[in-house]
Amino acid sequence: MKSMTLLLIFLGLALQVIGQRPSRFEDYEVAIYRGLIHRPKWIRHIADDEWRDEASKLSDPPQINFAGKYFMAVHSCGTGCRYYTMTDLSSGKELDLLKDFSAREPPPKTRAGFPYLTDLLTRANSRLLVAQFRAQSPRGEECSERVFILERKRITPVSKTRQSCTKY
């Protein structure tokens, strides 16, 4: 009986550890669109590898970098100010799913009152999106993260906010 109890405790702890492992991009793989690319309306190709957005700020070239067919771009709108756009490159259609990750001036603050910016991490062949929140506190930069997936044209959380960031 004692060995059975120990076995059940061990299995319970093992399942808890497995359930707490960070989500991986590989867990949400999708096929990558290979058809004609319809670039975003807001982007201009200037020369060679130079691309500009509607505010004439530098931008990455339009390429699939999320969920098999989407181009997610970060745009600067001033010091400590940024916003994200998401374009379906198979159609050129803009999706307004990333506004909650934007930082206008003044920047958003943590519950402790520290300003933060959000970095979004993605992969071309995955529906997983990792939001890393980088706050400036008196102790220096502090990072927390939350994991989301793209599901039915919605960004859905799949984790709670963790008080540390995973290296991807």
The first and second tokens of residue 62, run together, are: 């339009």
Q: Decide: 105 and 91 in contact? Cβ < 8 Å.
A: no
Give 19-26's long-range contacts (Cβ < 8 A, gap of 24+): 22/147, 22/159, 22/166, 23/128, 23/130, 23/147, 23/158, 23/159, 24/128, 25/123, 25/125, 25/126, 25/128, 25/168, 26/126
The answer to the question of residue 65 being in a domain is yes
pLDDT of residue 16: 42
The answer to the question of residue 44 being in a domain is yes
User: Residue 106: is the preceding peptide bond cis (ω within 30°)?
Assistant: yes
pLDDT of residue 142: 92
Domain that holds residue 43: 24-157
The answer to the question of residue 53 being in a domain is yes
The answer to the question of residue 95 being in a domain is yes
The type of residue at 106 is P
Q: Residue 107 CA to chain centroid, in angstroms?
A: 18
Q: Decide: 84 and 75 in contact? Cβ < 8 Å.
A: yes
The answer to the question of residue 61 being in a domain is yes
Per-residue pLDDT 10s for the chain (168 aa) are: 444 433 334 444 443 444 456 789 999 999 999 999 999 999 999 999 999 999 999 999 999 999 999 999 999 988 778 999 999 999 999 999 999 998 887 888 888 899 889 999 999 999 999 999 999 888 889 999 999 999 999 999 999 999 998 888
The first and second tokens of residue 100, run together, are: 């909650």
The answer to the question of residue 9 being in a domain is no
pLDDT of residue 15: 39
The answer to the question of residue 63 being in a domain is yes
pLDDT of residue 4: 42
pLDDT of residue 7: 37
pLDDT of residue 18: 44
CA atoms within 13 A on the CB side of 117: 16
| pTM metric for this prediction | 0.82
The answer to the question of residue 101 being in a domain is yes
User: What is the number of structural domains in the chain?
Assistant: 1
